[in-house]
Structure 1
């Protein structure tokens, strides 16, 4: 071991070696603890669970097509509707479960005010799934 001696002829420099004995002792104690506790962690109770088979009930949300032409006429799935009738239809659609998707198509020269009013009515009715339909092939 590297302890200081009582020899007066030795140098008074500090010891440069690490005492490894306490470190090895702690490591061996931890190893014994892990060896003892590891089998206890893998112990499981075997039970016979019941088996059931079911198919998920996947219901597709209805899609509502709303179209606005250049004159500002609003169509609900191809049928012309007035503004009051549109609001009542949107409120009825918002109460459905699952809530339908609203696909909004507008003519290129339709005033933004009309599109914004339809979107506002849909939001006030409680419809949250609103998508815009565009034609990707018609690029200027």
Structure 2
């Protein structure tokens, strides 16, 4: 096969190449990516939290015979008369279930309480594993 150094005869060969060479761009992007990965600090810091035995005990005593969960018309959840949030309620339910004999849980929502909140509290009670649950105050609705 012979090579010729003669000039090409078609006009398309005289136009400059319009395709961009992306190889250097890709090389630079890979180098930058590797540099960013190397310079990311490793999260090795820790926060020390001292959990004493007093922090785990419930603030409101859990009755060994019966406990009452109420929901007010304004949406406040009450455990034996004290206002609590749902996380605290779950902790109290867990503490009551750790007793040797499971106490009765009496549930008393207000008639004007939002159904969604009542449903969420009932779901929390069910997830906790309460087996002795009673609804109180329903006798006022028997003539409804």
| Structure 2 match to 1:131 | 134
Runs of 4+ in 1 over 3 A off after TM superposition: 137-140
SS at match of 1:65: strand
Match for residue 88 of structure 2 among 81, 85, 89: 85
| Structure 1 match to 2:75 | 72
Post-superposition offset of 1:136: 2.6
The aligned runs of 1:1-140 (5 Å cut-off) are 62-134=65-137, 136-137=139-140, 139-140=143-144
CA distance in 1, matches of 2:140, 2:76: 25
Post-superposition offset of 1:135: 5.0
Q: Give CA-to-partner distance per residue, 1:16-74, whole Å, 9 cap, x none.
A: xxxxxxxxxxxxxxxxxxxxxxxxxxxxxxxxxxxxxxxxxxxxx61101110111100
RMSD over aligned CA atoms reads 1.6
Change (3 A) 1:111 1:137: closer
Listed as ranges, the gaps of 5+ residues in structure 2 are: 1-63
Rg (Cα) greater in structure: 1
CA distance in 2, matches of 1:97, 1:112: 33
Change (3 A) 1:137 1:89: closer
Change (3 A) 1:137 1:108: closer
